[in-house]
Homo-oligomer: A and B are copies of this chain.
C-alpha cells in the first residue's frame, strides 16, 4: 500500500501527495516509511520562506510567484501556515478562493497547515510536508507564514531563501524589527508599493540593513518593491530570489545552511522523543502525587525535579 502511494507521490500525483501529508499530520500508519523514503528523495527543490506581519499581502504575492513560476514551466508546491484563531478562523475567504484557483494549475500543489495546539508539532509537520513536495519533483516550494510568533519565524527560517514582506504603513518596519523579522530576511519585499510613504519606508529598511552587521554568508540584502494585486515587480523579485539561490549554491553556503537546519531538526526530534519517553504513566503519576505538597510549599520544586530524574 505505502509502496504504491510512494510511487504515485514521486510521479507527482496530487491526490497521493495530499494523502501522504494527511497521514503525517494525523500520525497514521505508514508515516515512518513515507518520511524516510521522502527524506532520501528530497533536497532538490528551492525552498522559499515568505513571512511578514498580517495584512502585508503575502498570500497574493505567493499567488503571483506561483503563476510566474508555472508560466516558466516549473512545478510548484505551496505550504500556507495558518495560525488559526477560534475567532478569525484563519485566512481570509478571498485568500482561500485565490489559493484554490492557483491550486488548479498543472504541477501546482497547495496545502494549508494550521496550528493544532502545539506549534512545535506544526513546525515538524511543515518540514515533513516540504520533504514530500520536494520528493514529488517540485522545483520550488513556497512556505508562507505569518511572522507573529517565534515558531512561525523558525518555520520560515528552514527555507533556503527567506522573503520578509512589509507594507508602507507607518511603524510597520519598527514592528517587524521587534518581531525578529529583520534578522531572518534574505530579501525584503515592500508590497503595496504604490501607497503613500513607500519610498520613505524603503529608505528606512535600507538604513536598518546598513546598521546590521554583515550576515554569515555576506549576502547583500536588497529591498524590492511590488504591487502584487497589479502583478507588478514580480519578475524582478523572482530574479532576485534566483540570484540568492545561485549565490548560496556557488559558495557552498547552501550546503552549510541546509546542514544547520537539519542539525536543528534532529535536535528537535531527539528532544521530543526524550520528553515523550520520560513522561510515561508512572512519572506522570509521581508528578500528580507531589503537586499538592509543592503548590502548598511543603516541598520545593527543585528537590522534586532532582528526585524524579
Contacts and interface: CB of A to CB of B under 8 A. Distances in A.
Interface of A: 32, 35-36, 39-43, 54-55, 83, 85-88, 119, 146, 148-151, 171, 174-175, 177-180, 182-183, 208, 211-212, 255, 258-259, 262-263, 265-267, 269-271, 273-275, 278-279, 287, 291-292, 294-297, 300-305, 308-309
Given A148-B178, A262-B301, A265-B301, 15 more contacts: A36-B303, A39-B301, A40-B300, A43-B297, A85-B178, A85-B180, A85-B182, A86-B183, A87-B182, A146-B178, A263-B287, A270-B308, A271-B274, A274-B275, A274-B278
B87 A177 contact: yes
A287 B278 CA distance: 22
Contacts of A278: 270-271, 274
Count of identical protomers in the assembly: 2
A216 to B, nearest CB: 15
Nearest to A37: B300
Contacts of A279: 267
A287 B266 contact: yes
Contacts of A258: 295
Contacts of A303: 36
A205 to B, nearest CB: 11
A80 to B, nearest CB: 15
**7 smallest beta-carbon distances between A and B, as pairs:** A39-B300, A36-B300, A259-B295, A274-B274, A149-B150, A269-B305, A271-B275
A302 B177 contact: no
A119 B179 CA distance: 13
Contact of A88 (B39, B177, B266, B270): B177
Given A85-B177, A149-B149, A259 B39 contact: no
Contacts of A171: 55
Contacts of A86: 183, 212
Contact of A150 (B32, B119, B302): B119
B88 A305 contact: no
